[in-house]
Amino acid sequence: MTKRIKWSAVRWCGIAAAAVVVAVWPGGGAAGRGTPGVAGAHAGNLPTIEEAVTVAAPNSPAVADATDRVAELRGDLDQLRARLTQLRVDAFRGDPDVLPAAAADGLARSRGAHYADDAAHALSERVAETQRDLDAAVAEQQKAIADYFAALAAAAQEAERAAQEQAARAAQAQAAASSQVIASSASSTGSCSGDVGCFLACTRAHESDTAGGYQAVSPDGVYRGAYQFDQTTWNSVAASVGRGDLVGANPAAVSPADQDTLATALYAMRGNQPWGGRC
């Protein structure tokens, strides 16, 4: 009979220490059990550029115009490629309406290849030119999306700062109150109701203000930055809003403005759900 192995006191101490770390880390413990930071996100539920366009285009003429241009050029490119393919298929078949009949099969194939190359040259150039135009339009679309969310984040932060100053002036009689405390207590009630500035301040209060701010890193190293993104979610949001330069970057190491922008974008697309529904 196999004897049961009793856990040593050392192992129990180790578990107790780990429990303490989880309990005291912002977003951990009962309030954030299983969902610290941007937890629960997986490959099948990550933001896409299509989702970013859906959010940004109605509010940004630049995004809407660039998106229309991309769609138009993609349609043109598909048509040109289809015409080029059909032209070459007809030529190699030796269609008498396209290629004069030849006496020998081998000669027909030779003439067909030569005809396809010559006749398709101009069309191939149009395909290449349209592809270049499409690449430029996609780059313009990505920049417009990135600019939109950056401006949205900046405006939200400015509005939140103004609200903090107003609240501080209204509470001057309470010397112990600071604008930061007021903002945190006012916005931690879960009543931000779509107010981006309120949400950003509330989320930082829960996730990072007492644990490193914009450079915060969770004890297990998974969640990083002021808004405690995991790397997979960070990369997906960055790609979806045209910030390829941020894909793969450490969320805790980029600028506060970039962290604000990606948190704003994710909030605009998914609300507070990625952060466990608070704020």
**Through-space distance between the first and last CA atoms of the chain, rounded to whole angstroms:** 55
Residue 78 lies in a domain: yes
Residue 21 lies in a domain: no
What pLDDT score does 124 carry? 84
What pLDDT score does 119 carry? 62
Burial of 65 by CB count in 10 Å (0-12 exposed, 13-18 middle, 19+ buried)? Answer: middle
Residue 178 lies in a domain: yes
If one counts the domains in the chain, the total is: 1
Residue 255 lies in a domain: yes
44 touches 235 (CB < 8 A)? no
Per-residue pLDDT of the chain (279 residues; tens, 9 = 90+): 333 333 333 333 333 333 333 333 455 432 333 334 444 333 357 999 999 999 999 999 999 999 999 999 999 999 989 888 887 676 655 544 444 444 444 444 555 555 556 666 778 888 899 999 999 999 999 999 999 999 999 888 888 887 777 766 666 656 444 434 333 333 334 569 889 999 999 999 988 988 899 999 999 999 999 999 999 999 999 999 999 999 999 999 999 999 999 999 999 999 999 998 889
What pLDDT score does 233 carry? 96
Residue 167 lies in a domain: yes
Question: pTM (2 decimals)?
Answer: 0.63
Domain that holds residue 223: 38-274
What pLDDT score does 1 carry? 39
Provide the token pair at 164.
Answer: 């903090």
Residue 32 lies in a domain: no
